Amino acid sequence: MKVTILGAGPGGYVAAIRAAQLGAEVIVVEESEVGGTCLNRGCIPTKALVASAEVLDKAKKAKDFGLELSGEVSANIQKIIERKNKIVGIQVKGIRGLFKSWGVRILDGRGVITGPGKISVTLKDGGAEEIETDKIIIATGSRPAQIPIFPFDGEKILSSTDALNLEEIPKRLLVIGAGVIGCEFAFIYKEFGSEVTMVEMMPKAVSTEDEEISAVLERELKKKKIKLLTNIKMEKIEVKEDSVQAFLSDGKTIEADKVLVSIGRAMNSENLGLESIGVKTGQRGEIIANSRMETNVDGVYAAGDVTGGIMLAHLASKEGVVAAENAVGGDSAVNYDVVPAAIFTSPEIGSVGLREKQAVEKGLKVRIGRFQFRALGKAHAMGEIAGIVKLIADEESDKLLGAHIIGPHASDLVHEAALAIEKGLTARDIAHMIHAHPTLAEGIMEAAEDVHDSAIHMPKK
């Protein structure tokens, strides 16, 4: 059984290894670098920058912790990028090592489908290779979407990829789009020393999150003196020699040194030869796949960002696994009900399951438990007291429907709730389990208690 995979990002490389584990002969075609967006231009590099920003933030507050720091602490963007590149390099090597170990063949080049079971690859080093394959998995991912009237120029109008490779810290940074990516970069560059202004079309920042979480994040943006303008569209941008002038829909003008456009991502489904075999795509260019990751064409699967939907690396990986298992003759499907999300703003956000509004829209009766991080001794000891844990439980069954956390280590803490939702556990189940003290995880336990107004560390309501 021969499986050829287009794309070696978190969807593709994971599918490749799974298919190899199941005994298939696997070829992966990658036009850029293994690890895809996640490893090279997304998840990992931004976390490296976030780590640098965190250390800088703590260093600036050293006095609060009783420490004497002499001299100034500042961000050296070249060294920060160097560190980031080193980390990415280690991971890339790791994936290529895994391919070798599992016998996956990697072709560095661009693959195009030319007919049923036929892929034509133009190799990076020159030359070409024609592949005949039994099954195809398309995992070509996505790229930063640009605003047509002011496209990326890598100089003044930046994509998230550009923002990960800057040679100097912009004095004034304008961020268009206050979603996950925009917000993460806003905190990073503010910490490095930029003056940051954000413009968002929707009424709230990170509008994909529960409203209470957005509200806390907006307050945290304000605390850091990051200006956020919501319900505003960008009408025009004028690129001058030394600056950029942005004209907003409310008549105001903003001047900046660099503009980061983070309005979403576009699917990489063009020029893949999809028409040659009739693979159906949707309105936004997304390849249409069902929960078994099958496209409308027999033997052709798709996984990850290129299928649209929630664009998260871990979902791409799960879809890759399912695609691979099905390609090799299995019978798997993806459960989209429990997909945790992690946002590396400051403080972090971790969420899973239904938002309160979604639960209400579905006609569900819910009980909500909330607990503030500032009520936890651990949070105070750490010096990170901002944030809340919000749990949503079904009123009748007490089963956990959603968990929304903003605060220190939220990205890790959310998984206790994710497991609870996956296994149909109740708020009482979480409240009954002993949580170690002093930890941030106790906040989950207390929020679970609060669902029934019995949190010990909250005053009587």
Of 357 and 374, which has the nearer Cβ to another protein? 374
Least distance from another protein to the Cβ atom of residue 219, Å: 6
Handedness of CA 213, 216, 222, 223 (dihedral sign): negative
Nearest by Cα to 189 from 58, 50, 42, 387: 50
**Which residues on neighbouring strands pair with residue 281, listed in sequence order?**
287
- Could you tell me the smallest distance in angstroms from the CB atom of residue 388 to another protein? 9
Residues 130, 321: Cα–Cα separation, whole Å: 25
Q: What's the CA angle centered on 330, arms 324 and 336, to 5 degrees?
A: 65
Write the DSSP string, 406-423.
Answer: EETTHHHHHHHHHHHHHT
Provide the binding-site residues for another protein, judged by CB under 8 A.
219, 222-223, 372, 374-375, 380, 385-386
**CB 440 → another protein: shortest distance, Å?**
16
Least distance in Å: CB of 221 to another protein?
11
Q: How far apart are CA 454 and CA 114, in angstroms?
A: 64
Catalytic residue among 435, 437, 452, 457: 437
Tell me the C-alpha distance between 11 and 315, whole Å: 8
CB 223, min distance to another protein, A: 6
Phi-psi region of 363 (alpha: psi -120 to 50; beta: other; left: phi over 0): left
| 349 contacts: CB under 8 Å, gap ≥ 6 | 206, 209, 213, 217, 341, 342, 343, 404, 405, 406, 410, 411
Decide: helix, strand or coil at residue 234. strand
- Least distance (Å) between residue 453 CB and another protein: 16
C-alpha 90/C-alpha 447 separation (Å) is: 39
Which CB atom, from 86 or from 219, has the smaller least distance to another protein?
219
Residue 121 or 213 with smaller CB distance to another protein: 213
The reply to whether 437 belongs to the active site is yes
| Residue closer to another protein (CB basis): 24 or 205 | 205
User: Judged by CB, which is closer to another protein: 228, or 272?
Assistant: 228
As a whole number of angstroms, the distance between CA 75 and CA 427 comes to 43
219/362 with CB nearer another protein: 219
How far apart (Å, rounded) are the C-alpha atoms in residues 373 and 180? 22
Which residues carry out catalysis? 437
